[in-house]
Amino acid sequence: MAQIANLPLRLSPYLSAEKIQSRVKELAREISPHFFPSSEPLIAVCVLKGSFMFYSDLIRELDGNIECEFLAVSSYSGMTSSGEVKVTLDLNRAIEGKNVLLVEDIVDTGLTMNFLIQWLKSRKPKNLKTVALLLKPDALKTKCDLDFVGFKIPNDFVVGYGLDYQGYYRNLPYIAQVQSFN
């Protein structure tokens, strides 16, 4: 089991860095035909903070002209979703009539992703696709239609590769399952 410094969690590696990188490349191959070889740029929207590692690896693998955008939402309190989604950072540009890819780290309840899909659709993009690195089907509280999914995982709490616990563990190059608190 891995442990970082004196942080409070006991972790067990779940998805290796190599497995993640391999799947990110596959996802890019699956996504690219939906947007390229169009000469129109793709606006790739990163949901901060958790998606930043997945986002940066994914956009480097996509074959085409990409414009980067970022938004932030808050819906968690500790290890559980509060059920209320708040936008804390909005997009810097209009997406009306544009091709948009929404990049999320993890979908568990489906509430945040559904909120973001409707919120972005209200801005009238030409084409909106979604990708999530992780999906927890057993945790879904509402139906959530995703266009692309990296991995389906059990309803376990995971950290690493951008995912955190109270701001820690984002820097792990792999995804770890939380085994216990120290």
Determine, yes or no, domain membership for 2: no
> Is residue 59 scored above 90 in pLDDT?
yes
Determine, yes or no, domain membership for 92: yes
DSSP lists the bridge partners of residue 146 as none
Determine, yes or no, domain membership for 117: yes
Helix, strand, or coil here: 140? coil
d(CA 41, CA 59): 12
Determine, yes or no, domain membership for 44: yes
127-135/99-107 β-pairing: parallel
Determine, yes or no, domain membership for 11: no
Tell me how many domains the chain contains.
Answer: 1
pLDDT for position 75: 72
Examine the residue annotation and report whether 90 is marked as an active-site residue of this protein. Answer: no
- Average pLDDT on 43-54 reads 96
Q: Which domain holds residue 110?
A: 17-75+84-155
Write out pLDDT tens, residues 80-113: 555 678 888 889 999 999 999 999 999 999 999 9
Write out pLDDT tens, residues 14-40: 999 999 999 999 999 999 999 988 788
Determine, yes or no, domain membership for 127: yes
Q: Which residue has the tokens 């860095």?
A: 17
Q: Specify the range with the lowest mean pLDDT, choosing from 54-63, 72-81, 93-102, 167-176.
A: 72-81
d(CA 109, CA 140): 4
Determine, yes or no, domain membership for 4: no
Catalytic residue, from 57, 108, 145, 147: name it.
Answer: 108
What confidence tier does 167 reach under pLDDT thresholds 50, 70, 90? confident
Cis amide prior to 19 (ω within 30 degrees): no
Give me the CATH number covering residue 48: 3.40.50.2020
